[in-house]
Amino acid sequence: AYFLDLCDELGLYVLDELTGWQHHYDEGVGAPLVEALVERDVNHPSILFWDNGNEGGWNTALDDDFAQYDPQRRAVLHPWTTFSGVDTSHYQTYSSTASKAAGPAIFMPTEFLHGLYDGGAGAGLNDYWKLMGGSQRSAGGFIWALVDESVVRDDRGGALDTNGSRAPDGILGPFREKEGSFFTIKDIWSPVQLASPAYYDSVFPASFDKTVKLVNRYDFTNLRTCRFTWQLLAFPLPGAGPGHQVLSQGQAAAPDVAPGATGAVTLGLPADWTGADALRLSVTDPAGRDVSSWTWRVRKAPDFAARLVKPATTGSVTATETTTDVTLVAGATRVTIGKSSGRLTGVRRGSTPVSLANGPAPAGGAATLTAFSHFRDGTGWVVQADYSGDLTSVRWRLDANGWLRLEYRYRATGDHDHLGVNFDYPETNVRGLTWLGDGPYRVYKNRLRGVQPHVWSKPYNDTATGASGFAYPEFKGYHARTCWAVLDTTEGAVTVVAAEEGLFLRLFTPATGPDPQNAVATYPAGGISLLDGIAPIGNKFHGVASLGPESRPNAATGDYYRTVHFRFDA
């Protein structure tokens, strides 16, 4: 009853269920249960429907019993089928969802996008929700499930037992830890949405006119009753820790936007707003609760690269060549490139080895070395490698100040899970990561919403989402729109700086729980990858081929080019 009191207060919509899963109650048992259920809950306005069982667990002889005790005669549903004019079919593919949303019945799946092991739930939701939201016959849907229903096993030393892939796996951990899909769902299902898909890119739009166009998805609330605040942010540089500094802030006049309508909020930013690193806009509802927030980077990746990577003005680099490699030395930094591959084969910082190696190797396809050369370049030294195949060229340049620049080009057309290059690095040496990029959670190609640009920090963990570890955010996986990252290792700090926008930083391959079925994503070889395209993840019941456009492979368009800077510090 207390839960339903909260639903009444918060305005949540409830389906009140006569419990039963894939098997129904006999009429003699079920009739008194219906009576008790309805008489207990009948006065809660949050209840829109009664559910006669769950997933096939209904007895049609009980359907007319609900109205005997409900003067409103609310509709009765049979979850997993069509009844009372409402199609509640579970776990539809993207194409079958399109068909049902265009069908004669109201479509409202009482379960969809199963959240097993981080697949489903938020992954794929953006496509499904656009499809469902664009249909007048769609009434929304219910994601399974909210919470990981794990049991503490005293006979296993207090280990959390999720019963493999059979127990509910939600967007909250067993102690209500928020997983990445929690924030994706919060973003997509927020009642205040950005009107243009382009505004969901965390890079600030070039056409920005100090107004933000919004869609009001509230059913009853005008946006003029909400509160809109903005902040201009400055991000710390590597070594200064995570977070941000608020340069200035203010409140924008709430726009008069009726439920279902589109409008715009005028921010009233100061004249010097373009000097900030980022702009954040936050919305709270009439009760002061957080509804939505968006952060856009004013500064782009090349701006941060120019701020961090300064060319040397003095000093020089020495080079030595053997039959197998070329070694470049700048102060305490020593870099070795293999002559037969053009790949990094060794790094040392003073007497300490840094185990980054065997890259850049193409994340897909092959490369055959066709030419290799090296030469002095001002205060630095260049190693040039050319290839036939998918990787076309690699140029290394060590500067006298210890910055190592990598420029690489590759060619790809057609569909690919991964676009970019890989390196090897031993996972056992890693202690943590601090980075400027979208976070703090990892992403997939079909789950890019719910993360925001910031300077984030997280320690290493080996969590298998929903199965073991239960440390969130997970350390391993794909990280979106990375500007710079500092990998904390037992060998010192490895700094990576992107000179162009849109870099996905891949860190190792995440563990997966037992029997994941289709709830898997693919990862390239190596341990650390610099990528232009990443893979989607499937869900328990559907592989990525059965999901929407965001779950399709990356459609490669030809030639790709990137510059990435490395630094190795004690």
DSSP for 163-196, written as a single string: TTTTS---SB-TT-PBPHHHHHHHHHT-SEEESS
Q: SS3 of 61, please?
A: helix
**For the residues of 111-128, what is the DSSP string, one character each?**
SBS--GGGSSTTTTHHHH
Say what the pTM is.
0.96
d(CA 410, CA 392) in angstroms, rounded, equals 5
d(CA 439, CA 452) in angstroms, rounded, equals 5
Residue with tokens 């003005």: 313
Residue with tokens 């990577």: 309
How much is the pLDDT for 491?
98
Paired with 554 in beta bridges are 416
d(CA 145, CA 143) in angstroms, rounded, equals 6
Residue with tokens 């933000």: 212
How much is the pLDDT for 567?
98
How much is the pLDDT for 206?
73
Contact 399, 380 (CB under 8 A): yes
Instruction: Write phi, then psi, for 424 (nearest 5 degrees).
Output: -95, 140
How much is the pLDDT for 22?
87
b/e 119-158 (16+ beta carbons within 10 angstroms → b) = bbbbbbbbbbbebbeebeebbebbbbbeebebeeeeeeee
Domains, the chain, with CATH or none: 2-184 (3.20.20.80), 204-299 (2.60.40.10), 318-409 (no CATH), 424-564 (no CATH)
Per-position pLDDT tens, the chain of length 570: 899 999 999 999 999 999 888 889 999 999 999 999 999 999 999 999 999 998 989 999 999 999 999 999 999 999 999 999 999 999 999 999 999 999 999 999 999 999 999 999 999 999 999 999 988 999 999 999 999 989 999 999 999 999 999 988 999 999 999 999 999 999 999 999 999 887 777 777 677 899 999 999 999 999 999 999 999 999 999 999 999 999 999 999 999 999 999 999 999 999 999 999 999 999 999 999 999 999 999 999 999 999 999 999 999 999 999 999 999 999 999 999 999 999 999 999 999 999 999 999 999 999 999 999 999 999 999 999 999 999 999 999 999 999 999 999 999 999 999 999 999 999 999 999 999 999 999 999 999 999 999 999 999 999 999 999 999 999 999 999 999 999 999 999 999 999 999 999 999 999 999 999 999 999 999 999 999 999 999 999 999 999 999 999 999 999 999 999 999 998
